Chains A and B, each alone.
Chain A
Amino acid sequence: MSEILLEARNLQIRFGGVIAADNVSLTIERGKNMAIIGPNGAGKTTFLNICTGWLKPAKGTVLFEGRDVTSLAPRRIVRLGVARAFQIPQLFTEHTALENLLISVSARERLRHPLQDMHTIRQRGEMLHLLDMVGCADVADRPVVELSEGQRKLIDIAVALALKPKLLLMDEPTSGVASSEKFKIMEILVKALAEAKVTSVFVEHDMGIVSRYADEVAVWAAGNVQMRGSPEEILQHPDVIRDVIGEAV
C-alpha cells in the first residue's frame, strides 16, 4: 500500500568547502505529508533544489515515479508532476493574485490562442475555487505586491497547486508569517492538499506545526538525513530535542 513517489539515492553536492548533501537517500510515499526539520545550513533547501532539477548533484540519482529525473531541467520535472512553493514567494509582481493563478493554469494547459483574453479562459472558475480554498478569495483582484507576507505565501502555494501536481515541495510555508496565523495557514493548506490528493514535503522550523500536520518527519543535519519516523517518535528523541528543537526555541 505504501507506493514510493519520489526516491533520492546517494545524493552528493558541495559548494566550495561546504558539503550540502552528503550521500542523501530518502523515499517519499504517495499520499503522505512529510516534514523536513533540522538546523539552518543542514542542506534542506539544497535537497529540494536537487529534487526539482535546479541543482545537479555531483553524484546520486533522483527517481520520480521510478523515472530518473536527475539531469532534467526544472520545467521538465514540473511537467512530470512535481510543483514547488518557495521560502520567499516567487510570484509575478505586476499581476494580481487571480492572474498569478491564471498564468499558472495557462502554463499547465499549454493555452496558445493568441486572441483569447486570459481572464475568459475556461479554467477561471477552477482558479477562483483554488483561491477560495487557500482563503484568499477576497484579494483575488489585488496586485500581489500589496498583500501581506502570509497571503503571498498562500498564493505561492496556490500557484503550485494550480498545476495539479502529484507532489508539492514547500520550503518553510509558514516562515515570515505571524505565529497567530501559522496554524490557520497550515489548517487551510492540509485540507487543500487532501482535497487535491497531493503528496507533500515541507521544510519546517515550528515543531508545533510538525507534530500536528506531518505524517512523517525526516531530520536533517550536516548535509544528510539523520533520522526519519513518525512525529511522535522523532520529536521525543533526545538527540533531536538537543540539536534541532533546542535551536529552534
Chain B
Amino acid sequence: MNLTIFLLALFDGIAYAALVFSVAVGLTLIFGVMRILNVAHGSLYAVGAYLTVSLTGYILALGFAPVLAFPMMIVSAVLVGVLIGGPIEWLLLRRIYNKPEVLQLLVTFAVFMILEDVQRLVWGTQPYFQASALQAMGMIRVFGVNYTVYQLIILPLVALVLLVGLRFFLRHTILGKLILATTEDREAAQSIGIDADKVFLLTFIVGAALAGLGGALASPTTSILPGMGADMIVLSFAVVATAGLGQIEGAAFTALLIGLGRSFAVYVWPETAVLVPYLIMLIVLLVRPEGLFGSPTARKI
C-alpha cells in the first residue's frame, strides 16, 4: 500500500465516519434520554437525503447559486425533525413508554416499514444524484492527493461541531440540564416541575433532525435510492452499540473506528467492506457486552 492509497483510504474513512456519526449521534441521544431504540432512524436519514436533493434541485432550477445547497440541508433536517419526528413521538411513542421493550421495538419497526414506502411513493425507485454542494466547494491537494473540500473539511467540521455543541448543550445550558435530569430519574424530574413530555418530544425532534441532517450531508456524496435507510439503521446501530448505548463521545470514536476500518477494507479487499463494521461490532461486543464506553448495569436484588 503506497502513500497515496493510504491517504485516500484515510480521507474516505474520515469523511464516512463524519457522516455516520451525525446519524448515530441522534440515535444514541434518543436512546440515552428516552430508552427507546428508534428503528425508523434510518428512514429519517433517507428522507433527509431525498428532501435535500429535491429542494436543491428546485432552487437551482430557479436560478440560485449552488452554494445555497447548504441552507437547504439545514432546512431539510429541520423539516424531518419537526414534520416527521414530532408526530412520531407525539402520536405513537408517548403511548408506549411503559410497555415492554419488545413492543417499543415493534412500534418503531412499524414506523420504519411505513416510511420506507412513503419514500418510494414520493420519490419513486430511480436513483437521484445532486452533487452541487460537493462541486461548489472544489478540491484540495494534500500530500499530492486531490480530495474534495466538502468531504475532507466540511463533513468532519460539522461532525466536530455537533459533538462539541451537543456536549455543551447538555452540560451547560438549562434545557440540556433539564434533559439530563429527566434521563436520570423521570419521576423526580417531574416532581420538581420539569415537563417530561416536552423534554421527550424535544429530544426526539432533535434526534430525528440529526438523522435528517446526516442524510442531507450524505446526499451530495452518494446516489440516493431505496434501501439506504435500512443499511443506515443497522450501521448506526453498530456504531452506537460498539460505543455503548447512550454514549455520545463514544459514538464519535467508534464511528471513526468503523469508518476507517471500512474504507481501508475497500482498498484491500473490497468484497468485505460491508462486513467490516459488523465484524468490529461483534468483536467488541464479544469482549465487552456493554460496549467500549458503556458501564455494565447490575440488577438490584
Contact = CB atoms under 8 A, between A and B. Distances in A.
Majority DSSP secondary structure for residues of B touching A:
loop
Contacts of B301: 45, 49, 54, 86-88, 90
A54 B298 CA distance: 9
A45 B300 CA distance: 10
B298 to A, nearest CB: 8
Interface in B286-301: 298, 301
Interface in B249-301: 298, 301
A177 to B, nearest CB: 19
Contacts of B298: 55
Interface in A151-181: none
Nearest to A171: B301
B102 to A, nearest CB: 14
B104 to A, nearest CB: 19
A201 to B, nearest CB: 16
Contacts of A90: 301
Interface in A52-100: 54-55, 86-88, 90
B204 to A, nearest CB: 31
Interface in A40-56: 45, 49, 54-55
A94 B298 CA distance: 23
A119 B234 CA distance: 43
A186 B301 CA distance: 22
Contacts of A87: 301
A87 B298 CA distance: 16
A47 to B, nearest CB: 13
A5 to B, nearest CB: 22
A90 B298 CA distance: 16
A87 B300 CA distance: 11
A241 B121 CA distance: 77
Contacts of A54: 301
B40 to A, nearest CB: 30
A88 B301 CA distance: 7
Contacts of A86: 301
A55 B301 CA distance: 11
B214 to A, nearest CB: 37
A21 to B, nearest CB: 15
B100 to A, nearest CB: 12
Contacts of A49: 301
A90 B300 CA distance: 11
A90 B301 CA distance: 9
Nearest to A48: B301
Interface string A179-192: 00000000000000
A222 B298 CA distance: 22
A93 B153 CA distance: 56
Nearest to A90: B301
A45 B301 CA distance: 9
A8 to B, nearest CB: 19
B35 to A, nearest CB: 21
Nearest to A15: B298
B63 to A, nearest CB: 64
A88 B299 CA distance: 12
A86 B298 CA distance: 16
Interface in A76-133: 86-88, 90
Nearest to A87: B301
Interface in B136-181: none
A11 B301 CA distance: 20
A55 to B, nearest CB: 8
A65 B298 CA distance: 28
8 contacts: A45-B301, A49-B301, A54-B301, A55-B298, A86-B301, A87-B301, A88-B301, A90-B301
The 4 A-B pairs at the shortest CB distance, nearest first, are namely A86-B301, A90-B301, A54-B301, A88-B301
Interface of B: 298, 301
Given A55-B298, A86-B301, 6 more contacts: A45-B301, A49-B301, A54-B301, A87-B301, A88-B301, A90-B301
